[in-house]
Structure 1
Amino acid sequence: MIYVDDSGHPQSGLAVYGWIEFRPDHWRSVLRAWLDTRKALWREFGVPVTKELHTTEYVNGRGRISKRIPDRHIHDGHEYWKDFGREVAGDCLETLRCTEGLIVGSVYRRGKPKELMSTKRDLYADLVARFELELAARDSLGLIFMDGDGSDSSYRTTHRGLALANRRVIEDAIHIDSSGSQLVQMADLVAWSASAKLDQHPKNQFAARWYSDYMAERDPRREPQEL
């Protein structure tokens, strides 16, 4: 089971896909580990378990994920939402690092900013081809789940272009709204962390080592791969 989300930097033409994967018999334990963290965030910070954790929003202080920000993030009457969001991210990153049976990964490609959609489409096609090879080597089948409503037909075209006699990825990508999927939200954190490592600038310097410090332990290739 493979849960994929995208990230990147449109202004520079950088396209990134990050994902989590695990065998179906690990689905329950992976989800349980994440839900345990979500429940802890509710108890300590008042972040509802059902509240979407969209990385780019809460780590940049734009998402109001709680009505009860801790006193340590309030100074002179001002609420420091960025600091709060990054503390929440730290707990989530540690969960990814420690979850048994979980594998993470990421790939990227740099193209022309005006051709970003084409870059993303081609990168996704090559990523699926890589999944196919890996699944064949293990004599396994796989399902891909993605954020979104499935309106972009290029994902469907990629899957249906695979030779049916040999393909290992079952069906088209299954699109799920990230607001209702804890597992897609995990993939979002992987993709965003990969992007922060690849596209370092002063505003995201705080996350430049997130991938190395937390994801690498779960990534067989240890870092985002250019594909």
Structure 2
Amino acid sequence: MTSPSNQEQLMRRCHALAGFTLGQLAAQIGCKVPANLKREKGWTGQLIEQALGASAGSKAEPDFPELGIELKTLPISRLGKPLESTYVCIAPLIGITHQSWNESWVCQKLSHVLWLPILAERDIPIAERVIGTGFLWQPNHEEQQLLQQDWEELMELIALGGIDRIRGAHGHVLQLRPKAANSHALTSAVGTHGEPIQTLPRGFYLKTSFTQRLLAKAFNSN
């Protein structure tokens, strides 16, 4: 699939997917549906990227770089509630003293997002999970402030050697959690006394309470 040339084309493609199961879409594209997602956590997102013509791959840029739009699939329950927090990007742990919010990868990733809900409760086989109606989102002033405040507080804790004191409860809308394939995948960070340490990589995630609000706003539900 070629990259969409404009936002309208992207949304036409996105809305055309609504109601398809992942199995139907995979068959259309010629992809094999995995038996489970434990080893292929990113499979759903990659399938949707392929169907929509996302071109960024693993590059440090939005999924649709020409449009400045990031794609985020959002697993939801039958009641329309997000099933898990949403991964945004890996967190830098060293050399971060002078980084500002506007320069951050979190800010850039979340500046314009195409959200695509997917009915994906665990008892539903992967091939039978249903694609919902996608919607575009740009953070309003209040949302931007909440994101920036959480990011700045978390980054300050990292810079001051408090990486191991950060828990998932930190932050109103944004949280920092370990992001590694296994416990041996360590990276450099700053310790309590400013000394270099090795720790698990961390990733920024949007909390489910935040993505629930975005869903409610998009679909005018309570």
Fold conserved (TM > 0.5)?
Answer: no
Greater helix share, 1 or 2?
1
TM-score scaled by structure 2? 0.28
Higher RCO (C-alpha 8 Å, min separation 6): 1
TM-score scaled by structure 1? 0.28
